[in-house]
Structure 1
Amino acid sequence: MAWRGLAAEFLQVPAVTRAYTAACVLTTAAVQLELLSPFQLYFNPHLVFRKFQVWRLLTNFLFFGPLGFSFFFNMLFVFRYCRMLEEGSFRGRTADFVFMFLFGGVLMILLGLLGSLFFLGQALTAMLVYVWSRRSPQVRVNFFGLLTFQAPFLPWALMGFSMLLGNSILVDLLGIAVGHIYYFLEDVFPNQPGGKRLLLTPGFLKLLLDAPEEDPNYLPLPEEQPGPLQQ
């Protein structure tokens, strides 16, 4: 019964958060069970573009290392802040949310080429946290019961904690940089004099993922009134 309740609760989670979290957990489980090897998952431009192993463009975002504290720490932040974004500023805008993932992923891969980064899931987590924190500047965050601060400081606290776990801060800095680029293009530049939205979600994504919008000018036909009874 407990598993059924947990499954039912998980199905209440928004679709993108549910899909990404499940993909990360299943990928890690497959590596743990030796069904897959990290060498089959990491980003390698030579294998992607010369050997056409295009799945690496996706799988490098799904593996956070072996089961352990670092993995559960990352999953906690992925699930929490991805869900809060999807239920908050992206509510009813699934296509825009998926497009943010695509934009961030492509930019991280391009910038990751410069730093020879092999797994970018942690950078994607940092991007999600950064975008949420900038859109929730007045929220106070309790960081594991140790520190309390305003939301915009959260990405930097996360980076510092990641350093304590022995991770490279380069990955976190990449995620913060990409998150800032997205935030600037989506939330800041369009509100500047002469600014406009540059990140336009493709129509096919809206068609696939968003519910069709109702026409505000549509007027339903009046219901037919019953005619007089014939004698």
Structure 2
Amino acid sequence: MPGGSADWLCSVRGGAGNEQLELITPFQLYFNPELIFKHFQVWRLITNYLFFGPVGFNFLFNMIFLYRYCRMLEEGSFRGRTADFVFMFLFGGLLMTLFGLFVNLVFLGQAFTIMLVYVWSRRNPYVRMNFFGLLIFQAPFLPWVLMGFSLLLGNSIIVDLLGIAVGHIYFFLEDIFPNQPGGRRLLKTPSLLKAVFDTPEDDPNYNPLPEERPGGFAWGEGQRLGG
């Protein structure tokens, strides 16, 4: 997985823009607090999560993991809870951005992917994983295996540690602390997000009138044989 440090950004200076579509360069996207707050380039708060390096193994690796674990979370523990899912994105992104002010990171997309992997792995602790046919382990070890793999590729593990830290903070506040004696749920999805993303629940007391069917035939209704 590609690193997110400023050293990596300097290594692509002068070449990244010409190797791709030549529309934009990483220097227009990376996280820079001075450009954001002093020059009002606020788009960098979002675009730094969208760049995963030039197309190659690292890029495909990130895309596969991002898609896979985002989908499994949405269809699993967040099924029917789209607003809560979006709120996790916003909370994780905000926390990473705050941490990004104090560490030398310019792209946070990989950290966000690791956060999703961490949350999924902690919510599915008994799933057995097979990593490239070489390692078999329980799901909670997956983020650490990915960090070790990233280290073997020569990348900085700071990005992975940031994703693990933010994922653990979310998991602790959402799944652990509310179930402790005296604990309560501190992360509450804003009503605005629920109104936008969640469909209203059906009223159990609502009794709709029977629909008029063409020709007066009771479509879909069967009769017991011999009745």
TM-score computed with the length of structure 1 as normaliser: 0.81
- Deviation readout 1:179-224 (Å, 9 max, x if unpaired): 00000000000001111111001111111111111233x232666x
CA change 1:30–1:123 in 2 (3 A) is farther
Return the alpha-carbon distance in structure 2 between the equivalents of residues 77 and 204 of structure 1: 30
Map residues 82-101 of structure 1 onto 2, 5 A cutoff. 82-101=70-89
Larger radius of gyration, structure 1 or 2? 2
Say whether residues 1:114 and 2:80 are aligned partners. Answer: no
Map residues 19-168 of structure 1 onto 2, 5 A cutoff. 32-168=20-156
- Count of residues in correspondence between the two structures: 196
The alignment partner of 1:115 has SS state of coil
The alignment partner of 1:114 has SS state of coil
Asked whether the equivalents of residues 30 and 36 of structure 1 are also in contact (C-alpha less than 8 Å), the reply is no
Amino acid at match of 1:168: S
Amino acid at match of 1:203: S
Return the alpha-carbon distance in structure 1 between the equivalents of residues 163 and 93 of structure 2: 10
Q: CA deviation at 1:50?
A: 1.0
- Deviation readout 1:119-154 (Å, 9 max, x if unpaired): 000100110000000000000011111111000000
Return the alpha-carbon distance in structure 2 between the equivalents of residues 34 and 166 of structure 1: 28
Higher relative contact order (CA 8 A, sep 6+): 2
Give the % identical residues.
74
CA change 1:221–1:40 in 2 (3 A) is closer
Return the alpha-carbon distance in structure 1 between the equivalents of residues 121 and 36 of structure 2: 34
2:206 to 219, 228, 231: 219
- Deviation readout 1:96-122 (Å, 9 max, x if unpaired): 011001000000011111112100001
Higher helix share: 1
Return the alpha-carbon distance in structure 2 between the equivalents of residues 207 and 222 of structure 1: 27
CA change 1:125–1:198 in 2 (3 A) is same
Aligned-residue RMSD, C-alpha:
1.9
Amino acid at match of 2:144: W
4+ residue segments displaced more than 3 Å = 28-31
Asked whether the equivalents of residues 136 and 151 of structure 1 are also in contact (C-alpha less than 8 Å), the reply is yes
Q: CA deviation at 1:32?
A: 1.9
The alignment partner of 1:168 has SS state of coil
TM-score computed with the length of structure 2 as normaliser: 0.82
